[in-house]
Structure 1
């Protein structure tokens, strides 16, 4: 896994960020004392929930921000994107992390607006490849075209020596082992990204719309990313999908992009997201990205996810608003993005996205 930063986004350090927000919250009268001591007046607790795919990155962000702000505690429950959005919209957490943007068709945009009293903010914070992981005895390397992947998870390709898999791997020795496809059993943003890829890149082999909930009765279900990895690793002839940062010792297939077989990488995910536009139908402050799943750009890996931080534009408590603003700003800063790259192998969000996201986060305030 390549953990090298692809782009550094100009921003101040975590300590400087924390100091700036502390001064904004407490007034400029004590600016000199704080600046000379390097301390932070931020204190209190933030609760978040959501994406299990970005758990490693979130652990790094929490540690980095709390180190610079000793009076702050950030809690994060990696319960899955669906659970995180549900908790946020119900007012149970201060922010959510989701591997899929709020879904207007399922009422998530309206529910977030009701919770916040205005349209929620939604900014990208994590770009990472989704690996097609497999556990097939005697097979160490595997190429899978999008149509082949779609056929496997749709239940149309049933054995590992199927003609479609042989065509993708003409030199491989493939066993006649039955394929056991594993899907997430919980409501998952990773699943939504994966099914979006199958629908758009699968050349008709997948006929179901993108969804956080696995849309068909097939294969084996596993709860959260850890459950997916455990099920694939402990099975026979198994195949599944998970954020690359979480795959551990499992093997990952290369997918076909144009005429090239492309392994999952942070660089490839970054190239895919950079080629994708923002969804201009979303409310102001909502930076949902329309990922181009069929890009043929050299080196791009379009089977990937863009995760989001979801928060309110205003909070009842001034200190809470300062904490949310401070933490989110740290996450999307150069320092925060580098922490995620170093600890989770993710790609920094594109500079143009980071600039817009910072402007949105800067607007967070107390009511």
Structure 2
């Protein structure tokens, strides 16, 4: 029996847990071929452009590029609806949603148990539901202009760098994994998120799972205060900008946002793996179901310790959080129409094209669409 009392921290939410690695690869390489044309062609809304109103949301800054693509695509089908999204970070987005500021939230981390309880006050007795919408690798990105190669690191080395135990780029722990690469003696400056961040939760979950002897802290949405002498910035754009302006800096961020920064090839099994949508999708496809509170809620726990070098373990699965019951029909209809478009083959392809994300596999798209279709008004 599944434990429906969700432990806080390192959970992500999704419906599809039995997806095979082959299916995960196929969804990236041949998305348009595997879509259901009758579903994707009319996914923006069953009402074919007749809706009007405003749908306000806020949250994950990792979703920002995808959200731009989604709002543009949805606008083409529903010109009477204005979707407004504020990329304030996952924690602030969930807080805004629970306070009634937003009609939906984008979050790189699942609602905690107490947040779901609080959601009942605005969403009815079944509370809020977390819908998987966005799979993306988290890049471990650095600013070393003299190094053109992808620097190789195993999990323990990455953990020691972010814990401040390795402080220069030519440290033997790094150099020994990068034979033939000239590493400078430049000081390492760790840059982390200053805000409550689902990206931080996913990254620290990787550190704790893959290098527990070095990184004993459990996954958390805020960076551990005990690591002093480091730099911080708000949201994805903030940490990337600070890293770009600081030679020797290293950070973690949604891969779609790192631009020309160098990125670490992470050791998985016997090989070093560069980030990719395909490898990220395989990691999520192997996740295990753990359950959730609301009907149709989708919860899995990602295993970041796989030795399968076709996977990339530093990955985030991001959600949109909707009410299961909205107070009025107009809001429910707009939320359902937008959510349906986002998880459709068309919506997932739009995000992939804009942000390089890995689309949800067809079975997950179908189950997510069914969960969204069940949204109702009081």
TM-score by shorter chain over 0.5: yes
Which of the two has higher C-alpha Rg? 1
Give the SS at the match of 2:42: helix
Alignment of 1:227-306 (within 5 A): 227-306=238-317
Give the SS at the match of 2:176: helix
Shift of 1:15: 6.5
Q: Does 1:138 align with 2:164?
A: no
Measure, in 2, the Cα distance between the counterparts of 1:321 and 1:269. 32
Shift of 1:70: 1.0
Give the SS at the match of 1:285: coil
Shift of 1:72: 0.7
* 1:112 counterpart residue number: 119
Q: After alignment, is 45-54 or 280-289 more displaced?
A: 280-289
Give the SS at the match of 2:102: coil
Residues 291, 300 of structure 2: 8 Å contact kept: no
Residues 140, 250 of structure 2: 8 Å contact kept: yes
Give the SS at the match of 1:326: helix
Work out which structure has the larger RCO, using CA pairs closer than 8 Å and 6 or more positions apart in sequence.
2
Q: Which of 61, 66, 69 pairs up with 2:70? A: 61
Measure, in 1, the Cα distance between the counterparts of 2:82 and 2:245. 36
Give the SS at the match of 1:175: coil
* 1:16 counterpart residue number: 42
Shift of 1:281: 4.9
Measure, in 2, the Cα distance between the counterparts of 1:6 and 1:271. 15
Q: After alignment, is 299-308 or 137-146 more displaced?
A: 137-146
Residues 152, 265 of structure 2: 8 Å contact kept: yes
Q: Does 1:123 align with 2:131?
A: yes
Residues 15, 40 of structure 1: 8 Å contact kept: no
Residues 45, 341 of structure 2: 8 Å contact kept: no
* 1:307 counterpart residue number: 318
Q: Deviations 1:92-144 (Å, cap 9, x if unpaired)?
A: 1100000111122xx22212233212221111000000000001242122011
Measure, in 1, the Cα distance between the counterparts of 2:218 and 2:293. 20
Alignment of 1:29-48 (within 5 A): 39-48=48-57
Measure, in 2, the Cα distance between the counterparts of 1:149 and 1:75. 37
* 1:36 counterpart residue number: none
Alignment of 1:65-104 (within 5 A): 65-104=74-113
Q: Deviations 1:194-224 (Å, cap 9, x if unpaired)?
A: 0000000114111111111101333100111
* Ranges in structure 1 where 5+ consecutive residues have no aligned partner: 23-38
Q: After alignment, is 179-188 or 280-289 more displaced?
A: 280-289
* Ranges in structure 2 where 5+ consecutive residues have no aligned partner: 1-26
Residues 145, 255 of structure 1: 8 Å contact kept: yes
Distance 1:147 1:365, change over 3 A: same
Measure, in 2, the Cα distance between the counterparts of 1:298 and 1:160. 25
Shift of 1:162: 1.2
Distance 1:317 1:282, change over 3 A: closer
Give the SS at the match of 1:17: coil
Count matched residues. 347
Shift of 1:296: 2.0
Shift of 1:177: 1.3
Q: Does 1:150 align with 2:159?
A: yes
Shift of 1:19: 4.8
Q: Which of 201, 217, 220 pairs up with 1:211? A: 220
Q: Which of 56, 61, 65 pairs up with 1:52? A: 61
* 1:365 counterpart residue number: 376
Q: Which of 314, 321, 327 pairs up with 1:316? A: 327
Shift of 1:298: 3.5
Measure, in 1, the Cα distance between the counterparts of 2:41 and 2:331. 18
* 1:178 counterpart residue number: 187
Give the SS at the match of 1:168: coil
Residues 193, 239 of structure 2: 8 Å contact kept: yes
Measure, in 1, the Cα distance between the counterparts of 2:176 and 2:30. 34
Distance 1:251 1:334, change over 3 A: same
